[in-house]
Structure 1
């Protein structure tokens, strides 16, 4: 669904949170209305086909420790996309294990086209999701409007003038070409996250900026929050083999699954170190995956 796992070389400035949703516009433009209708049809089509599931997986989606370990390696140690002259496919290059080593403070920022009711409801959703992620990872993650280092920007077609300066502030190293592309994302790019890492050999995550379309209907918008925030914690890639999972471009699942919780828990397991290669981590990953599925206790 999303172009996620985009990485930036420069740290993202920890700029103060700005509430742009003070005076929502009274009339959406024709372009905004058209794209809102388009995404309503996308969501309806996906749900009619049995996709965008919110059940977290069940008896029809079993997975073994070997599958979990394979999926972890693929989504953790490979890059889906890169930030260069363009936002483009990364070609699946291997990368070192990266995650946050500092508390994650998530701030929501909304464009003027977003109503106060939607902004308030979405803040509550993301705050609850942050609490869930903190429990799963055993890492400090919380919603915060102060000293944020993970910004979630919700913008619509009519918010471009208000958001351009904010993007430039949060992404000081971004090129004019990439900034322009962020302002005019293609329709098939529902949302994205840009993650800033320190340099190797300790490529810890320094900050992140997620961008979500304001025109999405409720489920698609919530799906974007789940996927981009989770990927911004270090699971940067997608895999067609990951199931049940949101780290898969097939749109089968809209929200974080039990399988995805296991992946995040593995990523923040203290036995794995920031900067590990896939080869270095593999024996531990296999062992931790067996523990997560209960296979270790059964043998």
Structure 2
């Protein structure tokens, strides 16, 4: 009888060890708290094409109103794709995002055009092309934002040269990445993976890590104007909330809700 009980105990210990190992293996690197925090700092508090000595958190406070314009390609399809992704971002962040037909009511202008019209569109919607020459020379599509003194984003512009983006096989990438960055995650980093903010990544659609970064940015613990030190100090509270809500453990499933990827059946 004692021998049987010992065998049962050994079996239970073995099963527990196997299950523990499986759980450990199942946890992805992007679900690690320190990795999430470091990724957030790199994407939210650094600037692509612009060195910033004292970076601070930026994000939207007001509802977002999109103005859509197209003079190249299939305008109906472009607006459809943009609309699906915009509502996906609204679902993740809790922001109000909608379209307007009036430029006076818009605070993000999304322009689909031809490559040879790119600089003209920059002059119209962003400003002097020479001020963003590095981006013009290197980027496939452009995103630009303005903020107020409280570090709240107040205006943005996205310009997608349809012919050039398609030639580079980055048309969908431009739609997904540029408007996502304009929510307050403006940097790219090859250290952050998997992510649309990684230039060498194959990700076209938002990844589970991107979902977590957006959730973190619009957490009640994060405020516009916070610097790196302030952000790191409060980030454990952000992580605690994300764990409590199941956003980290379930990110791979939740990022697919209302997503462009699911809409297109990819």
Superposition TM-score, scaled by structure 2 size: 0.72
For residue 78 of structure 1, what is the aligned residue in structure 2? 46
1:137 aligns with 2:93: yes
1:177 aligns with 2:177: no
1:213 aligns with 2:166: no
When residues 157 and 274 of structure 1 are mapped into structure 2, their CA distance, relative to the original with a 3 A threshold, is closer
Superposition TM-score, scaled by structure 1 size: 0.65
Higher helix share: 2
8 A contact 2:212–2:248 mirrored in 1: no
In structure 2, how many angstroms separate the alpha carbons of the residues matched to 1:132 and 1:169? Answer: 28
1:236 aligns with 2:186: yes
Runs of 4+ in structure 1 over 4 Å off: 293-298
8 A contact 2:222–2:234 mirrored in 1: yes
Unaligned runs of 5+ in 1: 1-58, 83-89
Higher relative contact order (CA 8 A, sep 6+): 1
8 A contact 1:151–1:208 mirrored in 2: yes
Q: Give the drift of 1:176.
A: 6.0
Deviation per CA, 1:59-117: give whole Å up to 9, x if none: 796421211111011111112223xxxxxxx2x64411110110111222112xx13xx
For residue 70 of structure 2, what is the aligned residue in structure 1? 110
Deviation per CA, 1:5-45: give whole Å up to 9, x if none: xxxxxxxxxxxxxxxxxxxxxxxxxxxxxxxxxxxxxxxxx
Q: How many residues align?
A: 218
SS of the counterpart of 1:69? helix
Q: Give the drift of 1:297.
A: 10
In structure 2, how many angstroms separate the alpha carbons of the residues matched to 1:252 and 1:61? Answer: 18
8 A contact 1:66–1:289 mirrored in 2: no
- The counterpart of 2:143, out of the listed 175, 193, 201, is 193
Structure whose CA Rg is larger = 2
8 A contact 2:42–2:187 mirrored in 1: yes
Q: Give the drift of 1:291.
A: 3.9
CA RMSD of aligned residues (A): 2.8
In structure 1, how many angstroms separate the alpha carbons of the residues matched to 2:130 and 2:182? Answer: 23
Deviation per CA, 1:164-211: give whole Å up to 9, x if none: 2x543433xx336348x49x943x421121111113xx1111101111
When residues 128 and 102 of structure 1 are mapped into structure 2, their CA distance, relative to the original with a 3 A threshold, is same
